[in-house]
Structure formats: C-alpha cells, structure tokens
Amino acid sequence: MKLLILGGPKFLGRHLIDAALAANHEVTLFNRGQTNPEAYPRVEKLRGDRDGGLDALRGRRWDAVIDTCGYFPRLVEDSARLLADAVDHYTFVSSISVYASTAQPGLDESAPVGTIEDETVEEITGETYGPLKALCEQAVERHFPGRASHVRAGLIVGPYDPSDRFTYWPVRLDRGGEVLAPGDPQTPVQIIDARDLASWMVRGAAAGTAGVFNATGPETPLTMAAVLAACQQAADSSASPTWVPDDFLLAQEVGPWMEMPLWIPAADEDAPGFSRIDCRRAIAAGLTFRPLAETVRATLNWARQRAADYQWRAGLAAEKETAVLEAWRVAGKG
C-alpha cells in the first residue's frame, strides 16, 4: 500500500509510520517540517501547509491517507476535496469529544454529536474542540462517501506522548513516597496505547475499512486503582498511594484532568459515561490492546530519557501535592 500521512512524526504520527513500515507499506509524509524533521530519513517527505499550501500533493496518487492533524472543517475540507480522486480511502483521526454529552454510560457511534453556533470558528477550546472534530468528519464524508474511516479516539497514551496526561502517573509512582491518588479507586479509566491505535488504523486503511469507530480501551474494564498498581509494579516502587475524595480535592483547588491526570470528579455531569464509551464496533473490526503493564513500562522507559529540567504540560506539582496531603492529614482524614 502507498500510504500518505497528513501530519508530523510527533506522537501518533510516529507510531503510524512505524506500523506502516513494519507492514512493508510505502509511506509519504505531508507536513510543514517543523516537528522532528530529521526523523525517518528514508521516508518521503512533502512540505506544505494545510492552510493554502497543498500544492505538493497535486498530481500524486496514494492508496490511502491517514489524517492525524485535522482540527478545522475548512482545512479538512480542502485536503479531502483535493485528495478525493487521488486516494482510495481516507482515515480521519477524530475524538470521543465529538459527543454532545457523556452523561450516559455506554455511548456508541450513533449518539448525538455536539454542535457549535458559529461553524467557521477556528479557535480550539473545551467548548469548540468536539463540535469542530464532528464537522471535520462530515467534511471528509462529503468527499469520500462510503470510503472513509472516522476514528473517535479516546485518551491516547504511550511513548512520545507530549500531553503528559498519562505519563505523569508512571513517573510519579517511580519517584516514590506518598502519592496523592484522586477520588474513588474504582473509578473507570479508558485509554489506548498509541501503538495499538496506529497498527489498527494502518490495517484498516489497507483493507479499506469504512465507518465510524469509537477507539479507546482496554477491552475489559480498567480502574484508577489498577492504573496506579501497574505503574507501581513497572517502577518497582515502594510508593504509597493515599486516596483523597473528590470534594476535598476540589476544596483544595486541584484541577481535574490536566492538573490531576485521569481524574474527573464524579459530580461532573459528563462523568458517568466519560470512561464508559462503547468500543465494540472497533474491536469487532480488529482493534486489539496490549497489556497495560507493557504500556506503562514503555512510557516510563521513554520518560526516563527526557531532560532533567523538562517542563511538564500536565500533572500536580510536587509542592502542591505535599500541601494537599498535609491538609488531608490535618483534617484528620489521612
């Protein structure tokens, strides 16, 4: 298969390249050359910009394209229109954030997607991200009817993850000591290893698989306690988690999700279904999941190689963690 990837070799893109090359596919990258341009020297690289700079794609033909960096409908429409007669199959990396609400557990692909009053807005916020992704899906489908795959990914994790939303936990357990653990230990968690997602998408592109797919995991229920236990085991750490309930964390102004990764307070209206998305359709289409321990070990080994002064993008600062744990003890809870 001749595969075109829209986007750079940063995170998911890197794993897509690896998966495609491992399957002996011919890979072409299209991006601005701003992220890891020296990576993959033997892979063809076309330089351009999705905003008016698509000329490098003209006059070429590929069997499939995987779009990893489509966020605004106008730009996705441009690429889909240009590639409609040059590519047989289009895979669009979307998000479970497209859904209007996750208040109900077990959402499948038929659930309503979010809308936005001004569909031309090109600013990513918590309110616009999901509806814009939904509009991007529609833009692709207009030009690739019946020959597109819309992959509604959950939290993508693993080596090279720039968000730190999962990486925080293996590294924090590796550091040892008393660890602030959020909320109810039995809170469900859904994540997907980027390598599993990438290999599945490459296989789907080669097969011409079409449709909409929720793509997060694992296949069997996972809890926050299990995530921390896996991190502790991978790090061979003597760390001691202290579970602190939602209301106390909120009173201490601990921010959900980004400051305290993977944590969504149970009282949040979207919490009931946020990590209970139905992924049976993707699993039936061949999506598989490696053991959590493997994901944790690979993430930790990669994170250990980062610079000592690395600036984290997510995670609770050590000083604040200490302060919250002390407040918990003073309150007579710890």
**pLDDT-above-90 percentage for the chain:** 98
Percent of residues in the chain assigned helix, strand, coil, to nearest 5: 35, 20, 45
Return the DSSP state at 315: S
Whether the pLDDT of residue 294 is over 90: the answer is yes
In angstroms, rounded to a whole number, what is the distance separating the alpha carbons of residues 45 and 99? 34
pTM to 2 decimal places: 0.97
What's the CA gap between 227 and 225, in Å, rounded? 5
Local structure of 5: helix, strand or coil: strand
Confidence of residue 332 (pLDDT cuts 50, 70, 90): confident
Q: What is the mean pLDDT of residues 250-262?
A: 97
Report cis status (omega within 30 of 0) of the bond before 188. no
Q: Quick one: average pLDDT of 6-32?
A: 97
Cβ 89 vs Cβ 61: under 8 Å: no
Looking at the DSSP assignment, which residues form a beta bridge with residue 93?
151
Looking at per-residue pLDDT, the higher value among 293 and 308 belongs to: 293
pLDDT at 111: 98
Query: 168-189+219-277+291-330 adopts what CATH topology?
Result: UDP-galactose 4-epimerase; domain 1 (3.90.25)
Domain ranges (residues) in the chain: 2-159+191-215, 168-189+219-277+291-330
Distance CA 262, CA 194 (A): 17
2-159+191-215: CATH architecture:
3-Layer(aba) Sandwich (3.40)
The pLDDT of residue 123 is above 80: yes
Q: Which pairs with CB-CB distance under 8 Å and at least 24 residues apart come from 18-27? A: 18/195, 18/198, 19/195, 19/198, 19/199, 19/201, 19/202, 20/202, 22/199, 23/202, 23/203, 23/206, 25/1, 25/202, 25/206, 26/1, 26/2, 27/3
Average pLDDT for the chain: 97
